[in-house]
Structure 1
Amino acid sequence: MMRILGLLWLLISALPLAAYLPPEIHTLLDKDHIAPSQVSIYITPVKKGAALAKHNVDTRRKPASVIKLTTTYSALREFGPRWRWPTRFYYSGNFAHGVISGDLIVKAYGDPTLSCKDIPSIVKRLKKIGVRRIEGGLLIDRSFFAVGDRIHSSFDEHPYSEYNAMPDALMFDDHLCRIIVDPHSGRPEAQKKVPDPGYRILNNLKVTDQACRGRYSWPNVRVHEENGVATVSLSGALSKRCAPRYVSLVLSHPYQAFNGALRQVLQAAGITLAGPMRLGRVSEGARELLTHTSRPLIEILAKTNKKSNNLYARHIFLLLGAKRYGAPATLEKGRRAVKAILGARGILGEETILDNGCGLSRKTRTTARALHRLLQDAYRSYGWTWLGALAIAGVDGTVARRYRHSPVRRHAWLKTGTLKDAKNIAGYVKGRSGTLYNVVILYNGPERWKGKLLQDQILEWIVKNK
């Protein structure tokens, strides 16, 4: 009998823990009417300790934006937290007595944060160097990325929305065209924040004295394209009691807005840019004037994860490809780079299928085990530097409102991901005892609200009881 019991114990001990769930989570699945096959759950202490839950951890699922963790962690490992993105300015011809006889040349390397706020400091530096007049035009070199010329991804029925913006080596203002609508006159005025010939405005708005709420609080906005140029039609009635409204859409190539913004500030500073803008490559013999750099990479990674910024993730993904395999950056190089960086750490293998690095994809797949390995490795390597780049529950990012009035507030550092048939969350949760847990909960199913409910209940269970 003892021999039989011993054999049974050995057999039980050898069984995988893939189906292990505590009674509390079993109860939640039953109560929420969630089929166990729809979820993968992996919860362990970040330091030594037994798993709280380990269920379907090797099942491939759509990660949605949770896959951004693979992109941002790869970048942190490859470049370090203090690395800064460059944008270089050159000139062709001669430069004497304040006059450049050739072009002002911009060599773009994909800084996704370049914006209107950076232009004054760039122009100030040009003026300090002594530039007063540029006889040529503005030459923009976007060749660092080889991603085609699409403006938006058309992933869904909202192609002009911010999350559908496509990458460009010369990114500007998050690829958004901003229209300022001011109702404080007889007829609401609508104007471009930055001169941009890449789109048109058709303003049919009327002003009303009604209260600024409901249908009188925002213009009706429609976009149609003809011959590659978008027209934004504004209609309806806008209350004159409303503050100015900002309509932000992905409508044209970002270099158009960059050109307009740069010319505005150059003119205001008394610097003449005589010629037009054109696209090309840095000419042989061009000399460098200055290099503009972004904020430190860790701040860009934080915005990417906290706000789940698709555009930033796409740019980081492409940058990794160029860093590992040379310019121009391509999606395939990005896929290879992330697989190489994280594969060398034992994090990603054949179970993970990468697409564009941001999660806005129907092809991307990974497992709870792969994400769990990433979270373990990232915490052990970078600790609170890494946690600080995730959204803080109830405080910021995609989980600011979600956990504002929950016990989970300020007790979790998370990355979320949502598609029509996916609701996922991954990160770290601090339990009642002070133990920090590595948590991955992936739900793929038609009723994503059920996935969200389950995740919230599990996180609250950890915070209150563990």
Structure 2
Amino acid sequence: MVFFRFLLSFLFTCLLANSYAQSLSSKLPVAFTQFRNEGGLASDNVSLVVMDTKKGDILFEHRANTGMATASTLKVITSITALDVLGPEYSYTTTVSYAGTVDKSGVLKGDLIIKGTGDPTLGSDRYANTKAQNILDHWTFAIKQLGITRIDGRVIGDDRIFGGNQVPAGWPAADIGNYYGAGISGLNWKENKTGITFSPAAIGRSAIIKSISDDLSYLTIRNEVTTGNAGTGDKVFGFSSPYASTILLKGTYGKDLRKTIEISIPDPAYQLARDLKSNLEKEGITINGVAASAYKLPDYADHIGKTIAVHQSPKLAEIIYWFNQKSINLYGEALLKTIGKEKSHLKTTTESAEYVIAYWKSKLNIPKKDLGMLDGSGLSPANRITASAMSSIMLYARDRNWYTDFHNSLPSINHMKMKSGTIGGVLGYTGFQTSAGGEELTFTLFVNNYKGSSANMRQRMFKLLNVLKQ
């Protein structure tokens, strides 16, 4: 009798699950047709794939094998590859050492060197152990503990491991001078950005720079920002490039705005060397040499010296969390280059992207044409990924031992765990959802070259994805 009841319960559960599956499979085409018929989708530039993560079945697909611009949804591919290749426990090491000798009077006759390995979190405010002043104070204390009172040499930021501070090919020039377009250096510092506050004036008149978060007195800053009408917000753009000596600020700053504008730093390794030099001098250590970044020193060569201090970054799982939660492009480019460096001693973004493409060809037999990946963050407007490829990689992640770390890193949007992507004319979402019937789903939805407002298209996409909750 007990067995009979169990059998009935089991059969009922199976029938119910099958009923939900059939219901979802029938609802998706209807919802998708309605989505398309609402207009604004010229040339039908929309792709959607919905998969059952337990069975691997495709429940719905439309233009699944068409390459689409992804914007920041590309970050899930970078995240999953990094977790799979490097492991969730991976961390970066930054070392402070000296070349030369320290005499009995405490004089270092040689250079002080900060050697980076690409850690994107060094000096970031997002983690307790990465805050800039804490790191500078720790290093300063370690140097003083050696009895050093004077340095007859330079303070050098060694940023050469990734070939200096670079930006991926194809990034728009208008993005590079802003915080989200900051270059990726072998020695990153404070996420390679700084903050600027303005004092608005009469509408149309110059908005004066009120303060800058860091000492940039070594740079020429041309401020052409004017005061905009109240309610127009932040339309300020920075224009610079890696190792530039000038930053141009253009655009408008709303009269009622009270916001810190963030721009990229042209040479983060130099900025760090300069900050450490300043911190040491405040503590009474005399430095007779200059601050410098190794990439800009033509005669610079590695020195085997004494290690003074070692900084270990947060673990990769923690880096991935903020990478996806706040969509930090710098983290994506650092992770992509780190994958290439650790596995094949590669330095460039292009080489590392090609490695990732080959990795998924080998792992999941994803055609190379389906992964037109040019960077690790999705900022390049020329990225072209198919919804099928992205969903397959998301499905792969579902059964990995690091899946919980990855899943936790995805933002909650529209009451769904998913990563969004937004650039001009592009919206995308990819994530996971459990239906009312208990089906565990993964999905990827891309819309390119749509007409109308992004806010309206976003709500339409949410309405379509809401079917997965039923």
Would you say same fold, with TM above 0.5? yes
User: Residue type of the partner of 1:355?
Assistant: L
Aligned to 1:108: 116
Counterpart of 2:342 in structure 1 is: 323
- TM-score normalised by L of structure 2: 0.77
Q: Which of 73, 76, 91 is equivalent to 1:84?
A: 91
How far 1:205 sits from its partner (Å)?
10
Within 5 A, what are the aligned runs for 1:110-125? Answer: 110-115=118-123, 116-117=132-133, 118-125=135-142
Q: Evaluate the alpha carbon distance shift between residue 306 and residue 200 of structure 1 in structure 2; reply closer, same or farther with a 3 A threshold.
A: same
Q: Which runs of 5+ in 2 are unaligned?
A: 1-24, 124-131, 201-206, 295-299
1:345 aligns with 2:363: yes
Partner of 1:307: 326
1:56 aligns with 2:67: no
SS at match of 2:418: strand
Q: Is 1:385 the counterpart of 2:405 in the alignment?
A: yes
Equivalence for 1:427: 431
Contact 2:224 2:248 in 1 (8 A): no
- State how far apart, in whole Å, the 2-side matches of 1:167 and 1:323 are: 16
After alignment, is 272-281 or 148-157 more displaced? 148-157
Deviation at 1:177, TM superposition (A): 2.7
Spell out, residue by residue over 1:191-242, the C-alpha distance to the aligned partner (whole angstroms, 9 max, x if none).
43222344235689999xxxxx964998996767799532556999998x99
Alignment of 1:281-296 (within 5 A): 281-296=300-315
Structure 1 residues 215 and 271: alpha-carbon distance in aligned structure 2, compared to 1, 3 A threshold: farther
Partner of 1:160: 177
Residues 54/247 of structure 1: CA separation in 2 closer, same or farther (3 Å cut): closer
Same amino acid, percent of matched pairs:
21
- Taking the TM superposition and a 5 Å limit, the aligned residue runs for 1:156-195 are 157-180=174-197, 190-195=210-215
- 1:261 maps to which residue? 275
RMSD (CA atoms): 3.7
Q: Is the 8 A contact 1:199 1:231 kept in 2?
A: yes
Aligned residue among 384, 409, 413 for 1:365 = 384
The residue type paired with residue 430 of structure 1 is T
Aligned pair count reads: 420
Which of 1 and 2 has higher RCO (CA within 8 Å, sep 6+)? 2
1:43: how far off? 0.9
Deviation digits for residues 337-389 of structure 1 (CA, Å, limit 9, x no counterpart)? 21233333216322212212221223321211111111111111133221012
For residue 161 of structure 2, give the secondary structure of its aligned residue in structure 1: coil
Q: Is the 8 A contact 1:20 1:55 kept in 2?
A: no
Query: Contact 1:100 / 1:131 at 8 angstroms: preserved in 2?
Result: yes
Q: For the residues of structure 2 that align with 1:217 and 1:34, how far apart are their CA atoms?
A: 28
Q: Counterpart in 2 of 1:7?
A: none
Alpha-carbon offset, residue 82 of structure 1: 1.7
* Matched-pair contact (CA < 8 Å) for 2:165–2:184: no
Once residues 164 and 335 of structure 2 are traced to their aligned partners in structure 1, the CA distance between those partners, rounded to angstroms, is 13
TM-score (norm 1): 0.78
Question: Displacement of 1:332 after TM fit?
Answer: 3.1
Structure 1 residues 267-306: Cα deviation after superposition (integer angstroms, max 9, x where no partner): 2333333310233345333232222121111121122222
Q: 1:40 to 1:367 in 2, by over 3 A?
A: same
Residue 9 of structure 1 aligns with which residue? none
1:456 to 440, 462, 465: 462
Cα pair 1:198 1:252 within 8 Å, conserved: no
Q: Measured at CA, do residues 120 and 216 of structure 1 come closer, stay the same or move farther in structure 2, by a change above 3 Å?
A: farther
**Distance (whole Å) between structure 2 residues aligned to residue 456 and residue 353 of structure 1:** 26
Cα 1:353–1:105 shift into 2, 3 Å: same
